[in-house]
Amino acid sequence: MTALVATTELLVQHRLGSATVTALRHPGLRVEEGESVAVMGASGSGKSTLLGLVAGLAVPTRGEVRLAGTSLSTLDDLGRAGLRRRLVGMVYQADNLLPHLTAEENVALPLALTGQQPAAEPGALLALLGLDGLHNRIPDQLSGGQRQRVAVARAVVGGPRLVLADEPTGALDEQNARGVVELLVGVQRRLGAALVLVTHDPDVARHCGRVVTIEPAAGTGPGPRS
Ligand code: ADP
Ligand code: MG
């Protein structure tokens, strides 16, 4: 069966003046439909870089990323954006909610932008995430944990096959972090989506079916041979 995410060995390097910075060196990632994977590793080891490759936000210096059978390097920026919009929902450490829209309007926004049918009604999703009665509040009127739950609802409202979460609880206290992750994993399973969750916190990681650890790549090297 085709994996939802399948990569070859990956290398990501950036030019920084005359030096080359290795941002990620990874033997390869495979994620099946519906499974949940925690990605752990030291700060700077390339976790966000890896998530960016899987989302098609960047392409590797070496290696290939396949998303639902499509090689992302065969697509241009627009093609990757289209595939991402259809297949992927993303949650970041900062909630990135629009401050002048209510919780429900924030959740509905991706549907308005893409014309997608909702996997669940925005209001029902908010209720599922424990935000009943808070639909009409703007982000300023919600706590950090509540805002992050709105961000989770927004990430899944279009029914993504893959949810990518980059330290979604990094800005929350322990109790809120646990609540958000339990709800994130709960809604992911209910919708049958796969989840790749970057976290520093072993308590968060153990909610996932599997843990992948990234070893830091050798940092800065000499400039590339010309
Ligand atoms: P993590 O999310 O694990 O903390 P990142 O993926 O953000 O790590 O970054 C991995 C490494 O690559 C870090 O050392 C970072 O400084 C470097 N890096 C990331 N993006 C760039 C860039 N655009 N230019 C130069 N170095 C970068
Ligand atoms: Mg990061």
Summarize the confidence of residues 12-29 as an average pLDDT: 96
Using the atom order of ligand 1, give the atom closest to the CA of residue 49.
6
Report the 10 Å Cβ neighbour count for 118: 16
For residue 211, report the distance from its CA to the centre of ligand 1, in Å: 21
Using the atom order of ligand 1, give the atom closest to the CA of residue 46.
6
Q: Are 128 and 187 in contact (CB under 8 A)?
A: yes
- Residue 72, by phi and psi: left (phi above 0), alpha (psi -120 to 50) or beta? alpha
pLDDT in tens, 30-77: 999 999 999 999 999 999 999 999 999 999 999 999 999 999 999 999
* Cβ-proximal residues to 129 (8 Å cutoff; 6+ apart), any chain: 149, 150, 152, 153, 183, 187
Q: What is the sign of the dihedral through the CA atoms of 65, 67, 69 and 70? A: negative
Which residue in the block uniquely carries the two structure tokens 């029902």?
A: 124
Which amino acid type is present at position 195? L
| Environment of ion ligand 2 (residues, CB < 5 A) | 48
Which residue has the least CA distance to atom 14 on ligand 1? 44
pTM, two decimal places: 0.93
For residue 152, report the distance from its CA to the centre of ligand 1, in Å: 25
Report the 10 Å Cβ neighbour count for 2: 9
Token digits of residue 165:
């979460």
Using the atom order of ligand 1, give the atom closest to the CA of residue 43.
4
Which residue has the least CA distance to atom 23 on ligand 1? 14
Running DSSP on this structure, what letter comes out for residue 73?
G
For residue 122, report the distance from its CA to the centre of ligand 2, in Å: 29
Summarize the confidence of residues 193-211 as an average pLDDT: 94
pLDDT in tens, 123-139: 999 999 999 999 999 99
Running DSSP on this structure, what letter comes out for residue 224?
P
- CA gap 88, 56 in Å, rounded: 10
Is the pLDDT reported for residue 224 higher than 90?
no
The secondary structure of 125-194 as a DSSP string is: HHHHTT-TT-TT--GGGS-HHHHHHHHHHHHHTT--SEEEEESTTTTS-HHHHHHHHHHHHHHHHHHT-E
pLDDT value for 226: 43
pLDDT value for 219: 56
Using the atom order of ligand 1, give the atom closest to the CA of residue 23.
12
Which residue has the least CA distance to atom 24 on ligand 1? 14
Is the pLDDT reported for residue 222 higher than 60?
no
pLDDT value for 62: 98
pLDDT value for 225: 47
pLDDT in tens, 138-180: 999 999 999 999 999 999 999 999 999 999 998 888 888 888 9
pLDDT in tens, 88-137: 999 999 989 999 999 999 999 999 888 888 888 999 999 999 999 999 99
Within 6 A (CB) of ligand 1 lie 14, 16, 21, 23, 41, 43-49
